[in-house]
Structure 1
């Protein structure tokens, strides 16, 4: 089951750990670090699940859950250091689908996520589409369009666009992108990532010589802009 999962966690190390676990499971994670960003992201892109820390800045996790329940039925898995019975009951009372306390086992977290997704799985007549900067990526059908026009991609190119459209405007190093292409391009190297980027620009840029979507961040790597070209 490939799911679009929003992770709202202010601890960056914890957030990165969860993001990597979800990627290994084949999911598409998006990470935010405060409650306001979580509400905005969930409202605009409607994830299949929200992994929600309670101790968030700007708007705490209970406030986020309250807003999500007012506006829809997005599944919520609360993940928090608060472990009293009252905290658990309050979270579940606001409509959380499950509740885990820190510290937690990564294996148990993944098992809980699988359980919530199975229990709340939506009809499969639509795909969890990812959109950024005029690009649309369909992880289920393995299709990419640019401004509505189909874009043929190799497996390695698709893996890169899949990762980057899931987190628009995030800067990816070559090594990070290489991790996403593992299993698709077994012989891929960091230099091969540059070739993938060059080929993708030929397919999605109005002028590949002056990129407007797939940008180079010098001495760091690449990012896909979230704004329309």
Structure 2
């Protein structure tokens, strides 16, 4: 089964740059997606929901700063500018519009990867208050998208991972079926109760000591589920 990887959207009109970045990102366990134009990038940010955007300012159909402005109307995804424009005013404008970081071309791939990792970690911390979520035997690394149970790495599918993350972020709270489906699958799946039961069962199989008598994800009959707060082992 495929494990969830951080998705990085590369927005650049130069094929050589896109190819170089794809190779570098894949070699470091990241999932690259690409766009050549600003409008294409905006559509992909909405549909793919990437974990980070690498954005060139000089795009053929619109200025990169306008792309930042439009993304920031509805998303806080980390944006790293990767551009030949190195004037202070350009950088300041990009930061004022909501860019998180700036790397000037030609760039050192190792430096860029370090910036990507730092911004992914910052975003994970902003989401959950910390880059790792720990509950008893379960530890989730929000940057590497890894889950360990009793210190052993366990493979979760992307949707199983998203469901477990939602439970861990909201551990101790009672969550309704509709609330979980809306937040993890989207508004169109608000009534897919059987779908949710199947995925909860799959997650339990991978992290509960006894999936038939769960200690972590508890069923609230007729309402939803609750992830109990479990003391470290």
Aligned partner of 1:32 in structure 2 is 35
Secondary structure of the equivalent of 2:102? strand
Residue 142 of structure 1: CA displacement? 4.0
Q: In structure 2, what is the Cα distance between the partners aligned to 1:30 and 1:59?
A: 19
Q: In structure 1, what is the Cα distance between the partners aligned to 2:158 and 2:88?
A: 46
Aligned partner of 2:82 in structure 1 is 79
- The two structures have a TM-score, normalised by structure 2, of 0.53
Aligned partner of 1:191 in structure 2 is none
Q: In structure 2, what is the Cα distance between the partners aligned to 1:71 and 1:144?
A: 23
Match 1:55 to one of 58, 62, 70: 58
Match 1:41 to one of 14, 27, 44: 44
Residue 71 of structure 1: CA displacement? 1.2
Aligned partner of 1:105 in structure 2 is 108
1:117 and 2:120 correspond: yes
Match 1:10 to one of 6, 13, 16: 13
Match 2:94 to one of 91, 104, 116: 91
Residue 144 of structure 1: CA displacement? 8.9
* Structure 2 residues not aligned, in runs of 5+: 134-139, 144-154, 161-233
Q: Deviations over 1:56-78 (max 9, x none)?
A: 11122111100100112111000
Residues 118 and 14 of structure 1: CA distance in aligned 2, closer, same or farther (over 3 Å)? same
Q: In structure 1, what is the Cα distance between the partners aligned to 2:107 and 2:45?
A: 24
Q: In structure 1, what is the Cα distance between the partners aligned to 2:41 and 2:60?
A: 11
Residues 21 and 86 of structure 1: CA distance in aligned 2, closer, same or farther (over 3 Å)? same
RMSD between superposed Cα atoms in Å: 2.7
Aligned partner of 1:132 in structure 2 is none
Secondary structure of the equivalent of 1:99? strand
Residue 2 of structure 1: CA displacement? 3.1
Matches within 5 A, 1:165-204: none
Q: In structure 1, what is the Cα distance between the partners aligned to 2:158 and 2:49?
A: 20
1:141 and 2:156 correspond: yes
- The two structures have a TM-score, normalised by structure 1, of 0.54
Q: In structure 2, what is the Cα distance between the partners aligned to 1:60 and 1:6?
A: 17
* Structure 1 residues not aligned, in runs of 5+: 129-139, 146-229
Secondary structure of the equivalent of 2:8? strand
Q: In structure 1, what is the Cα distance between the partners aligned to 2:57 and 2:65?
A: 6
Secondary structure of the equivalent of 1:6? strand
Secondary structure of the equivalent of 2:98? coil
Aligned length: 135
